[in-house]
Chains A and B, each alone.
Chain A
Amino acid sequence: MARTPLDRIRNIGITAHIDAGKTTTTERILYYTGRSHRIGEVHDGTTTTDYMEQERERGITITSAAVTAEWKGHRINIIDTPGHIDFNIEVNRSLRVLDGAVFIIEGVAGVQPQSETNWRLADRYNVPRIIFINKLDRTGADFYRAAETLKEKLGITWVALQLPIGIEDSFKGVVDLVGMKALIWEGDELGAKFHEAPIPDDLKDRAAEYRQLLLDTALSVDDAAMEEYFDKGDVSVETLKRCIKKGTISGAFRPVLCGTAFKNKGVQPLLDAVIDYLPSPVDIPGIKVAAAEGEEEEAERRVIKADEKAPFAGLAFKIINDKYGNLTFVRVYAGVARTGDMVLNTTKGHRERIGRMFQMHADKREEIKEVYAGDIVAFVGLKDTGTGDTLADPADPVVLERMAFPVPVIDISVEPKTKDAIEKMTIGLQKLAGEDPSLRLRTDPETGQTILSGMGELHLEIVIDRLKREYGVEANVGAPQVAYRETITRPHTEVYTHKKQTGGSGQYAEVKIVFEPLERNQGIVFENQVVGGAVPKEYIPAVEKGIRAQADTGVLAGFPTVDFKATLVDGKYHDVDSSALAFEIAAKACFREGMKKAGPVILEPIMDVEVTTPADHVGDVVGDLNRRRGVIQSQDMAGTSVIVRAHVPLKEMFGYISNLRGMTKGRASFSMQFHHYDPVPRQIADEIMAKSA
Chain B
Amino acid sequence: MRLRWVRGRAAEGDGPDDPDRTREWVGCDDAGEAIARVVRVSGPVRAGWRLRYAVARDAEARVVELRPPVDRNRRWLIVIGGRVVGRAALPLQAVRGAEAALGGG
List residues of A whose CB falls within 8 A of some B CB.
215-217, 219-220, 223, 226-227, 229-230, 250, 285
Q: Does B4 lie at the interface of the complex (its beta carbon under 8 Å from any beta carbon of A)?
A: yes
Chain B positions near chain A (C-beta within 8 angstroms): 4-7, 16, 19, 23, 25, 90-93, 95
Residues of B within 8 A of A285 (CB): 16
Contact, CB under 8 Å: B90 / A220: yes
Nearest-Cβ distance from residue A256 to partner chain B, whole angstroms: 17
Contact A226 B90 (CB under 8 A): no
Q: Are B92 and A227 in contact (CB under 8 A)?
A: no
For B25, the chain A residues whose CB sits under 8 A away are 226
- Could you pull out 20 A-B pairs where Cβ atoms are within 8 angstroms? A216-B90, A216-B91, A219-B91, A219-B92, A220-B90, A220-B91, A220-B92, A223-B7, A226-B25, A226-B91, A226-B92, A227-B5, A227-B6, A227-B7, A229-B92, A230-B4, A230-B5, A230-B95, A250-B19, A285-B16
Are the C-beta atoms of B7 and A216 separated by less than 8 Å?
Answer: no
State how many angstroms separate the Cβ of A244 from the closest Cβ of chain B.
14
Which residues of A have CB within 8 Å of B92?
Answer: 215-216, 219-220, 226, 229
- Identify A216's interface contact among B4, B19, B93, CB under 8 A: B93
The minimal Cβ–Cβ distance linking A16 to chain B, given in whole angstroms, is 27
Taken together as a complex, chains A and B put the C-alpha atoms of A247 and B95 apart, in Å, by 20
Please name all residues of chain A whose beta carbon is closer than 8 Å to the beta carbon of B16 when the two chains form the complex: 285
B14 nearest CB across to chain A (Å): 12
Determine the chain A residues whose CB is within 8 A of the CB of B19 once the complex forms. 250
CB-based nearest A residue for B92: A216
Nearest CB to that of A227 among chain B residues? B7
Q: Complex: how many Å from CA A215 to CA B5? A: 16
The 5 A-B residue pairs whose C-beta atoms are closest, nearest first, are A216-B92, A216-B90, A230-B5, A220-B90, A220-B91
Minimum CB–CB distance for B15 against chain A, Å: 10
Q: Distance (Å) between the CB of B39 and the closest chain A CB?
A: 13
Closest to A300 in B: B15
Whole-angstrom distance between the Cβ of A227 and the nearest chain B Cβ: 7
Tell me which residues across on chain A come within 8 A of B95, comparing CB atoms: 230
Expressed in whole angstroms, the Cα–Cα distance for A229 and B7 within the complex equals 13
- Complex formed: what's the CA distance from A622 to B53 in Å? 43
CB closest chain-B residue, reference A252: B19
For residue A227, which residues in chain B have a CB less than 8 angstroms away from its CB?
5-7
CB-CB under 8 A from B5, the residues of chain A are: 226-227, 230
B44 to chain A, nearest CB (A): 18
Give the chain B neighbours of A216 by CB distance below 8 A: 90-93
Q: Which residues of A contact B23 (CB under 8 A)?
A: 223
| Min C-beta distance of A503 to chain B, whole Å | 69
Q: Determine how close the nearest CB of chain B comes to the CB of A457; give it in whole angstroms.
A: 40
Which residues of chain B come closer than 8 Å to A217, judged between CB atoms?
Answer: 90
| Most A-side CB within 10 Å, residue of B23, B25, B92, B93 | B92
The docked-state distance in angstroms from the alpha carbon of A223 to that of B19 is 13
Q: How many angstroms from the CA of A229 to the CA of B4 in the assembled complex?
A: 11
For the complex, give the distance between the alpha carbons of A216 and B89 in Å. 9
Chain A residues with CB under 8 Å of B90's CB are 216-217, 220
Shortest Cβ gap from B85 to chain A (Å): 19
Bound state CA distance, A618 and B87, in angstroms? 42
Q: Which of A217, A226, A250 lies at the interface centre, i.e. has the most chain B CB atoms within 10 A of its CB?
A: A226
CA distance A230 to B4 in the complex (A): 7
Q: For the complex, give the distance between the alpha carbons of A285 and B93 in Å.
A: 31
Name which residue of chain B comes closest to A233, CB basis.
B2
Smallest Cβ distance from B22 to chain A, in angstroms? 13
Cα A215 to Cα B7 in complex, Å, equals 18
A297 → chain B closest CB, angstroms: 15
Q: Given the complex, which residues of B lie within 8 Å of A219, measured CB to CB? A: 91-92
Taken together as a complex, chains A and B put the C-alpha atoms of A217 and B89 apart, in Å, by: 9
Give every chain B residue within 8 A of A250 (Cβ-Cβ): 19
Query: In the docked arrangement, what's the CA distance between A250 and B15, Å?
Result: 13
**A226→B92 CA distance, assembly (Å):** 8
The docked-state distance in angstroms from the alpha carbon of A250 to that of B16 is 9
A217 and B90 alpha carbons, distance in the complex (Å): 7
A212 and chain B: residue at smallest CB distance? B92
* A65-B4 Cα distance, complex, nearest whole Å: 53
Distance (whole angstroms) from the CB of B74 to the closest CB of chain A: 13
A-B contacts besides A220-B92, A226-B25, 7 pairs, CB < 8 Å:
A215-B92, A216-B92, A216-B93, A226-B91, A227-B7, A230-B5, A250-B19
Closest Cβ–Cβ distance, residue A636 to chain B (whole Å): 21
**Chain A residues with CB under 8 A of B7:** 223, 227
Task: Compute how far the CA of A220 lies from the CA of B5 in the bound complex, rounded to whole angstroms.
Answer: 14
Residues of A within 8 A of B4 (CB): 230
For the complex, what is the distance from the CA of A35 to the CA of B16, rounded to whole Å?
A: 38
Bound Cα distance A152, B25 (Å): 31
**A658→B25 CA distance, assembly (Å):** 61
The answer for the CA separation of A227 and B26 in the assembled complex, in Å, is 12
Nearest-Cβ distance from residue B71 to partner chain A, whole angstroms? 14
CA distance A215 to B90 in the complex (A): 10
Q: In the complex, what distance in Å separates the CA atom of A675 from the CA atom of B85?
A: 45
Chain A residues positioned under 8 Å from B91 (CB to CB): 216, 219-220, 226
Bound complex: CA A137 to CA B28 (Å): 50
Least CB distance from A283 to B in Å reads: 14
Least distance between A278 CB and chain B CB atoms (Å): 19
Distance to closest chain B CB from A220 (angstroms): 5
Docked Cα-Cα span, A229 to B93, in Å, equals 13
CB-nearest residue of chain A to B95: A230
How far apart are B81's CB and chain A's nearest CB, in angstroms?
21
Q: With the chains together, A285 CA to B15 CA distance in Å?
A: 13
Bound complex: CA A220 to CA B89 (Å): 10
Bound-complex Cα distance A227 to B92 (A): 11
Closest to B73 in A: A157
Cβ contacts under 8 Å, A226 to chain B: 5, 25, 91-92
Expressed in whole angstroms, the Cα–Cα distance for A512 and B19 within the complex equals 51
The smallest C-beta distance from A156 to any residue of chain B, in angstroms, reads 12
Residues of A within 8 A of B6 (CB): 227
CB distance from B21 to the nearest CB of A (A): 14
CA distance A217 to B23 in the complex (A): 15
The CA of A216 and the CA of B91, in the complex, are separated in Å by: 7
Residue of B nearest to A217 (CB): B90
A230 to B28, CA, bound (A): 12
CB distance from A302 to the nearest CB of B (A): 15
CA distance A219 to B93 in the complex (A): 11
Chain B residue at smallest Cβ distance from A223: B7
> Chain A residue with minimal CB distance to B27?
A230
Which residues from chain B contact A229 at a C-beta distance below 8 Å? Answer: 92
CB distance from A552 to the nearest CB of B (A): 41
Q: How far is the CA of A44 from the CA of B6 in the complex (A)?
A: 59
In whole Å, how far is A246's beta carbon from the nearest beta carbon of chain B? Answer: 11
A226 to chain B minimum Cβ distance, whole angstroms, is: 7
* Shortest CB distance A240–B (Å): 13
For the complex, give the distance between the alpha carbons of A229 and B5 in Å. 10
- Complexed CA–CA distance, A250 and B17 (Å): 9
Q: Which residues of B contact A223 (CB under 8 A)?
A: 7, 23
B9 to chain A, nearest CB (A): 12
Whole-angstrom CA separation of A327 from B6 in the bound complex: 57
Report the minimal beta-carbon distance from A365 to chain B, rounded to whole angstroms.
38
Question: Roughly how many angstroms separate A250 CA and B13 CA in the complex, as a whole number?
Answer: 15
The smallest C-beta distance from B50 to any residue of chain A, in angstroms, reads 25
Question: In the assembly, what is the distance between CA of A223 and CA of B5, in Å?
Answer: 11
The complex places the Cα of A285 from the Cα of B90 at a distance, in Å, of 26
| Nearest chain A residue, comparing its CB with the CB of B7 | A223
